[in-house]
């Protein structure tokens, strides 16, 4: 079940206003992975991260139960925020990635909450490189609590976690987006038909299974999408997790 994969919500503050503003995903008992702009947005200089919530499905109930499995939410403080050192340097939203170290370890909570796998060996684990997956695998999964309205001026935030399959095949729209990046392979695209990411989904994962569905992997972290969510012939741009593995792994500690 997708909601058991360590999906997280980030709670932030801007001035006197607090809100669940981004998604994230648990990759280690002490770390969630999210987008750089979810913790340090140049357009919101007074943004501060207050905490991380795991095990959430329905924001209006606790615990949440589905198919006989129940999950109580876990709210955790933030010990450290690590933004990718090249974030926003070579281009706007380049290397849009951050690690958030939790104030305590999230463990012994199976089956409700567990980390998603990093794509350490895509060819062995998933049957191809991350580039090849766009040609060999048709679909990935997105999930989050972002707006379900395509109108950028009228966000409609759901109370229940939304999840959907999206096509992985890049389109000309993706090619145009990636041309703005000095290293296009640092990003990947998905979507373009049907469900879409929108305001509030930033930082959430693009996921894929190992066909047998014994393990799930995070391929990308939601970075940016079109101005009008779900507009025809558009796609969402994700930060490529495999491309940034060396930075991620070098910053994880017990």
Q: What's the CA gap between 89 and 253, in Å, rounded?
A: 26
CATH number at residue 52: 2.40.10.120
Q: Residue 36's pLDDT is what?
A: 97
Q: Which of 71, 147, 202, 223 is catalytic?
A: 202
Q: Domain range for residue 10?
A: 2-250
Which tens digits make up the pLDDT trace of 138-157? Answer: 789 999 999 888 776 787 88
Which tens digits make up the pLDDT trace of 212-252? Answer: 778 899 999 999 988 888 888 899 999 999 999 999 999 99
Task: Compute the residue count for the chain.
Answer: 254
Nearest CA among 188, 142, 144, 113 for reference residue 10: 144
**Annotated catalytic residue 96:** yes
Average pLDDT value for residue range 183-187: 94
**Annotated catalytic residue 202:** yes
Q: Which of 95, 96, 147, 201 is catalytic?
A: 96
Average pLDDT value for residue range 200-220: 89
Number of domains in the chain: 1
Q: In the numeric block, which tokens belong to residue 231?
A: 């507009």
Whether residue 3 is predicted with pLDDT greater than 90 in this model: the reply is no
Which tens digits make up the pLDDT trace of 20-46? Answer: 999 999 999 999 999 999 999 888 888
Predicted structure pTM score: 0.92
């Amino acid at each position: 079940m997708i909601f058991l994969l360590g999906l997280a919500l980030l709670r932030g503050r801007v001035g006197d206003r607090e809100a669940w503003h981004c998604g994230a995903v648990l990759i280690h008992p002490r770390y969630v992975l999210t987008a750089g702009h979810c913790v340090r947005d140049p357009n919101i200089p007074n943004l501060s991260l207050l905490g991380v919530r795991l095990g959430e499905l329905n924001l209006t109930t606790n615990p949440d139960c589905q198919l006989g499995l129940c999950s109580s939410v876990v709210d955790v403080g933030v010990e450290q925020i690590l933004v990718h050192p090249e974030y926003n340097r070579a281009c706007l939203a380049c290397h849009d990635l951050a690690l958030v170290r939790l104030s305590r370890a999230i463990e012994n909570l199976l089956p409700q909450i567990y980390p998603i796998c990093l794509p350490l060996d895509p060819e062995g684990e998933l049957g191809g490189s991350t580039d090849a997956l766009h040609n060999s695998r048709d679909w990935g999964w997105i999930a989050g609590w972002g707006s379900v309205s395509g109108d950028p001026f009228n966000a409609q935030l759901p109370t229940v976690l939304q999840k959907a399959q999206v096509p992985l095949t890049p389109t000309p729209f993706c090619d145009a987006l990636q041309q703005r990046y000095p290293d296009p392979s640092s990003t990947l695209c998905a979507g373009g038909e049907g469900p879409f990411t929108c305001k509030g989904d930033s930082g959430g994962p693009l996921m894929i299974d190992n066909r047998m569905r014994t393990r799930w992997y995070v391929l990308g972290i939601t970075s940016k999408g079109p101005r009008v969510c779900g507009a025809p012939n558009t796609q969402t741009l994700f930060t490529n997790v495999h491309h940034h593995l060396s930075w991620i792994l070098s910053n994880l500690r017990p």
